[in-house]
Amino acid sequence: MVATVETNAQRVLDRVIAAGALGDLVVQEESSLSLKAHDGELEEHKVTSTRVYGVRVVKDDRAGIAYSEAADPAALDSMVEQAFVNATFSRVDPAESVATGDTILVTDDASLCPDDPTTVEAKIAAALYLERELTARDKVRNVPYNGVQDATVERHVFATTGRTAHSRDRVCSAFAYALLSDGDKDALEGVQSHTRRFDEIDTAWIVDETYQRCVAMLHGEALPSKHYDVLFDVEHQADLFAVFHDMFSGKSARDGINPLRDKVGERIAVDALTVRDAPLNADGLGYALFDDEGLPTTTTTLVDGGVLRTLVHNSATATHFDVPNTRHANRSPRGPLGVGLHQLEVAPGNVDETALTSGEYLEIVDLAGLHSGGNPVSGDFSYGAAGFLCRDGERIRPVRNITVAGNFYEMLNKIDAIGDTQHWNPERSALMARIRFADVAISG
């Protein structure tokens, strides 16, 4: 009999049950094609496929995990054995368990993994087009970062309780970053595009937008150091929330490092701010029918009118705090059970975009050092930045070689206005109304 993911999963779970334990198994399969161009030729053509099994066992209130890229019976048996060994060293934790239930969840291939008639030749042509068309533009020295990718990820969750879940997600993407030079001035800018189908990628837009961004930023200069009102573009506003998403983590709260761990029910932001996690919005590429314990997801309101309503939890953190499980289990096959957001959403405010951009403000379109420059435990951050000094919605001049610094948690109480329109970030993983932050420290 040919072994399948399902028969291998059964083998693993049978051994867990035979040992008198509970357990669940995450299997992740990935396949991808990626292409990059240089000097008019294909520079890289990468074809990959891989599969990894990760088991979590819970016995005597102790959890242990192990993983294997090999799927032969001996390797899988060894993986289970190692997980039990690891469990013997773990803390005794009555909250650690395998979520109950025997639901079977399967995502819809038609919406998440659609067929696409685009041939490999057409994808190669797209990669060459991006580099060729940008290189032909005035003052473009080269296009050092470019490429197209077509990736499919399958995730399986199997639990000893009988619960199973399976998703198949396809994401196609393209990006180009061009280096523009004019005398002693230069600028490296670019854009990316992510979709479910390759034929939905607009490569002409990528070329035009990348070039326009380079031209716009070429003569950027620093600003005088002072405090400005700041609007981040959607990409970097989403990035900023991502750096500090541990503020919503039930696991960080349990570990005693989440600064908002005792703030549920309290005001943490201005009235206008409402933040949700919306995993079932299928327009986004962060869509998730189930979490990594295989439990069905739902929309969770995290901040409602400035008040922190809940942290996000998996079965263990929910049990520990004796609160409802928000179905935010997050676990790679190689890692422990954690929590994570699926698809963050900043709800629309009541300020139209014209009013949002009234007066003088700084529009930030690039942040450098996102993770090294931010500390989720304290909320402090300081980043290299670039953008535009703006007035009444018009860009007055490009700004480079500046820094933006502050404390993110304090900034949530210095929100001047929130726009009434939501926008997806380029990865289509976060849906954001734009926020105007007041009085942000800028150094130039």
Partner 1 sequence: MLDTRVAQSTIDHAIALGADFAEVFVERNQVNNIATVSNQVRDIASGIDFGVGVRLVYGAKVLYGYTNRTDAEELRRIVSELAAKDRRDPAVSAQAFDFRTAADIHGAQRTLSKDSEVRDKVDYLFAADRAARAASNLISQTQGACGQREQAVEVFNSDGVHIRDTRHYIRARLQAVASNGSDQATGMQTDGGLLGWEIVETLDPKACGAEAARQALVNLSAKPCPSGRMPVVIGNGFGGVIFHEACGHLLETTSVAKKASVFHDKQGRMIANPVVNAVDDGTLEREWGSINIDDEGMPTERTQLIKDGKLVSFLADRLGAEQTGLPRTGSGRRQSYRFAPASRMRNTFIEPGTASFDDMIASIDRGVYASHMGGGSVQPGTGEFNFAVTEGYYVEDGKIRHPVKAATLISTGPDVLKQISMVGSDFALATGMCGSVSGMVPTTVGQATLKVDDILVGGNA
State yes or no: residue 378 binds partner 1 (CB under 8 A).
yes
- Cβ proximity to partner 1: between 275 and 404 the closer is 404
**Pattern of binders to partner 1 over 321-350, x per CB under 8 A?**
-------------xxx--------------
Six-digit token string for 226: 């002072």
- Of residues 219 through 258, those in contact with partner 1 by CB under 8 A are 222, 225, 255-257
Contact region with partner 1 (CB under 8 A), list: 89-97, 98-106, 291-299, 419-427: 89-97
Shortest distance, CB of residue 106 to partner 1, whole angstroms? 25
- Of residues 286 through 325, those in contact with partner 1 by CB under 8 A are none
φ/ψ (deg, to 5) at 26: -110, 130
Amino acid of residue 4: T
CA-to-CA distance for 225 and 167, rounded, in angstroms? 49
Instruction: Determine how β-strand 430-443 pairs with β-strand 344-346.
Output: parallel
Interface with partner 1 (CB under 8 A), residue from 23, 64, 284, 419: 64
Shortest distance, CB of residue 308 to partner 1, whole angstroms? 16
Q: What is the Cα Rg of the chain in Å? A: 24
- Cβ proximity to partner 1: between 75 and 204 the closer is 75
CA-to-CA distance for 247 and 252, rounded, in angstroms? 8
Q: Which phi-psi region, left, alpha or beta, contains residue 315 (left: φ > 0; alpha: ψ -120 to 50)?
A: alpha
Question: How many chain residues are in contact with partner 1, going by CB under 8 A?
Answer: 74
Chain centroid to Cα 303, Å, comes to 19
DSSP string, 251-283: HHHHTT--TTTT-TTSB-S-TT--EEE-TT-TT
CB 439 within 8 A of CB 206: no
- Of residues 179 through 198, those in contact with partner 1 by CB under 8 A are 179, 186-188
Contact region with partner 1 (CB under 8 A), list: 2-10, 71-79, 191-199, 317-325: 71-79
- Of residues 99 through 138, those in contact with partner 1 by CB under 8 A are 120-121, 124
- Cβ proximity to partner 1: between 46 and 219 the closer is 46
State yes or no: residue 259 binds partner 1 (CB under 8 A).
yes
Shortest distance, CB of residue 251 to partner 1, whole angstroms? 9
Interface with partner 1 (CB under 8 A), residue from 10, 17, 45, 219: 45
Interface with partner 1 (CB under 8 A), residue from 241, 383, 388, 437: 383
In sequence order, which residues have a C-beta less than 8 Å from that of residue 114 and are 6 or more positions away? 170, 196, 197
- Cβ proximity to partner 1: between 78 and 103 the closer is 78
CB 35 within 8 A of CB 122: no
- Of residues 20 through 39, those in contact with partner 1 by CB under 8 A are 38-39
- Cβ proximity to partner 1: between 75 and 106 the closer is 75
- Of residues 135 through 164, those in contact with partner 1 by CB under 8 A are 141-142, 144
- Cβ proximity to partner 1: between 40 and 162 the closer is 40
Shortest distance, CB of residue 154 to partner 1, whole angstroms? 15
Q: List the beta strands (DSSP E) in 39-139.
A: 41-59, 62-68, 104-106
Q: Give, for 371, the enclosing helix (H) or strand (E).
A: none
- Cβ proximity to partner 1: between 48 and 100 the closer is 48
Six-digit token string for 55: 């088991």
As a whole number of angstroms, the longest Cα–Cα distance in the chain is 72
- Cβ proximity to partner 1: between 151 and 280 the closer is 151
- Cβ proximity to partner 1: between 146 and 343 the closer is 146
- Cβ proximity to partner 1: between 17 and 85 the closer is 85
Interface with partner 1 (CB under 8 A), residue from 86, 135, 152, 319: 86
State yes or no: residue 424 binds partner 1 (CB under 8 A).
no
CB 6 within 8 A of CB 153: no
What is the Cβ-side half-sphere exposure of residue 107, based on CA atoms within 13 angstroms? 27
H-state helical runs in 218-348: 234-243, 250-254, 315-321
